[in-house]
């Protein structure tokens, strides 16, 4: 998997934090707060895949472009950035050697916690 940092998604995440659109939840809440496949499909249908990709810090350049498999490391629910999602993705990115994504997530957490 050739995953790289999605800079457009990082910009959106920072803007959400700056605008106060943050769900300050705890570490293990993401499994309950993550959008369902149905919610993802509805979002894509309404807003397009490009907008959907902006909610993911990772882009898998080996996957077919425009598919759910081409994006990874989600950070929100299409309305707010979730602290629990950022914690989860930072850990997973670090485990899989995606240092740029892990570092971006760490900085996002600092921004979230500074507010």
| Mean model confidence pLDDT for the chain | 95
Task: Quote the distance between the C-alpha of residue 4 and its chain's center.
Answer: 13
CA quadruple 33, 38, 39, 43: dihedral positive or negative?
positive
- What is the token pair recorded at 101? 């994504």
Which pTM was predicted?
A: 0.94
Q: Tens digits of per-residue pLDDT, 17-40?
A: 999 999 998 778 888 999 999 999
Q: Tens digits of per-residue pLDDT, 64-101?
A: 999 999 999 999 999 999 999 999 999 999 999 999 99
Compare 31 and 110 and report the one with higher pLDDT.
110
Locate tokens 């499994």: which residue?
31
Locate tokens 């998604």: which residue?
9
Q: Where are the alpha helices (DSSP H) in 7-98?
A: 7-18, 30-33, 37-47, 49-53, 83-95
Is the model's pLDDT at 1 over the cut of 70? no
């Amino acid at each position: 998997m050739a995953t790289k940092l999605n800079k457009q998604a990082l910009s959106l995440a920072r803007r959400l934090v700056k605008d106060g659109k943050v769900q300050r939840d705890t570490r293990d809440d993401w499994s309950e707060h993550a959008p369902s496949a149905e919610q993802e499909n509805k979002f894509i249908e309404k807003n397009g895949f490009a907008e959907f990709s902006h909610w993911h810090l990772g882009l898998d350049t080996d996957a077919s472009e425009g598919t759910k498999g081409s994006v990874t490391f989600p950070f929100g629910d299409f309305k707010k950035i979730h602290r629990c999602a950022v914690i989860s993705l930072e850990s997973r990115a670090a485990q899989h050697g995606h240092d740029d994504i892990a570092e971006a997530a760490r900085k996002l957490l600092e921004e979230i916690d500074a507010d």
